[in-house]
Structure 1
C-alpha cells in the first residue's frame, strides 16, 4: 500500500484528530529520509555528513534564512569567541585568510558557502508546532505552520533536532518594567552602541553578551552600567599565547578537571587581577566544573574588564524595581537610566513541541 494514502486513512479515522486540530491539514508529505529541524550550523553539519554517506535529508527552518540567530539576532561587533579551528563544520575549514576570531559577517558567509558547497536546500518559513512518534505506524509526524498559517505534516522514520539551546529569548519580569519611560530591549534586538551615544544605559546580565554589549556601548560614548546579580568566572580570551579554550581542551587530555580549573584561575588572577575588587565574585566551583554541573559558560574577556577597572563601566547589584526613569537596586541605591538592555540569554523551545 502506498504509505501516503495509509497516512491519510489513519487521519480520517483517528479519534485523536478533531475539528480544532491539524486534521484539516492541506498537505501531508511522506519524507523517505531523515527530517532535520533547524538550519543553523548544527543542522547544516548533520545534513552535510548524511549527504557524504549518500543519505539525503529534509531541513525544516522556521526563519527565512539559514543561521537565523547569527543573521537576525546578533549585534554588529560580534566575533567568534573561540578560534576558528574549533568552530569549523565537517569537511570544510574556514578560509585561510580569515582571522583567528572571524567576524559575524565572515562566519555567516562561511555558512552560506558551506550550504552551497554541499547543495543543501532547506525549506524555510516552516515553524514546527508538534513532533510526535506515532507508535501505531512507527513513524514521526512533524506538524508545521507556514507564513500564512498553512498547515503541513511531514511523516518520516527519522527525526533529528538541531535547533540548539538559543531558540527563544529569556525576558525576565521585573517589578515596574511596564512603567519605564525609555526603551527596554533584549540583546537579540541590539545592533550597535551608536544608537545610545551620550545616554545612560543599564545592561542586565553579565554573561559574554552582557559584557560585550557593555564594551560596545562604552566604545560608542554611551555610559553603561552592568547588573551583576550572580557570581561569574571571567577568564582572559588567551593564555600563554594560546586560546584559553584550546589550552583547556589540551590540558584536559592529561589532567583532571579540578586541577585544570586551578591552573586557569591562577593564570587568570595573574593576568586580570582580583576580579572580586570590582564586584565580579567567582563561583564556588571552577569554570570547567561549573560548566559541567550547570551549563554556565565562563566569560572570555575581550576588553570589558579594563573598562570596569577604569570606571567607564559601572557594576551594579541586582534590581529591586524599575520606575519611570530610574532603577532601584537591592542595596538601596537608585539611579536614572535612558534605556535598559536585557542580556538575559536564550532557552530551548524543544520541550514545547517535541512529544
Structure 2
C-alpha cells in the first residue's frame, strides 16, 4: 500500500485542513453565513442574468472580468466614500482565493508571513500551502485581551521582517476592529511587506468604525480584501475581491489560473451588485440580532466581546467544548474556535438568536459559568 504521508511535502505532514461541521440542525450559527435567504427580486435578477449568459457557456469567460471589476469599484466608492478605480480591483472565487493569489505572488519558500492570533485560521493554511514560513504573532501580551497592541505589533514586525503581514478588521474570531493608527504603524514598520487588511465583515461594523480603504492613497504595499459571502448573503457564490495599487493587482495575473472566474459567477455577482441596496438591507437586521445576542449573553452572566462583525465571541464557559456539545444536543450549532472558555456564535435571525439564548440558559449552570 502506498505511503502517501511519506510522499507528502514534509512541511505539510501532520497538518490539519480547514473544516467547520456542516450538520443538519435547527439552528446553525457556526460559520458566519447569513441566515437570511437571497430576496426574491434578486433571485429573479440572478436567474435572468444566468439565462443571458447560458447560451455562450461554450466560450471561455471574460478573463479580465472588466464589467465585474468596474461594478465592485463602484460599490466600494459609493459605500465607503473612497475613490476606487477598477484597475485597483481584483477578484477570485471567495476571498480565500484572493488571499492565496497574494501569498503565491509575494510569499513562497524562503519568505515569511506574519499574523496576529487568534485570527482567521485560513491565513496560516494559505501561507503554508505555498511554502511560506508562518509566524504566529501576539495580539496583546495578555491572553485575555483581543485588541492588537500597536507597540507590540510593531516590535514583532521589526523582529521578523516579514514579506506578508495579515491584519483582520473586524477580526475573526474576536469581532474586534482595528484602529487606523495600528494599520499605518504596522505598514511603516514593514518596509518590504505586503500588508493585507482582511475586511470580510466590514459592512457590519458599528458606526464610526473606519475602513483601511481610506489609507490606500500613497501606500502602494497596502491591500484591503472584502467578500460578498457575508453582508451580501452570498456564501454559496464564492466571490471575494480586493483593492490595492494597480501595479500590485497587475502582478496577481502571474499566479491566477486561466479564466478563473466563470461566466456564471460573474453574471450572478453583477446581478447582486445591481441590487446592492436590497442585499444590504439585511445588514441592519443582522447587526440588531448581534447586539441582542451580546445583551442576552451578558444577562446570562457570560462575557461577550464587543463585536463589529456578524458574530460574537462569548467567554465565560467553564468548559467550552462541553458547552458546545450541550448546545448541539439542544439543536444549536455554534463554533468552538479553540480558545479556552470561549465559543463563537453567528448572529442569525432574531428568532435564531432567541433560540440560542434559550439553549444557553439551559446549558449554563446556576452561577452562569456553564457545563449544564
Same fold (TM over 0.5): no
Larger relative helix fraction: 2
Larger of the two Rg values belongs to structure:
1
Question: More strand by proportion, 1 or 2?
Answer: 1
Provide TM-score, normalisation by structure 1: 0.23
TM-score normalised by L of structure 2: 0.22
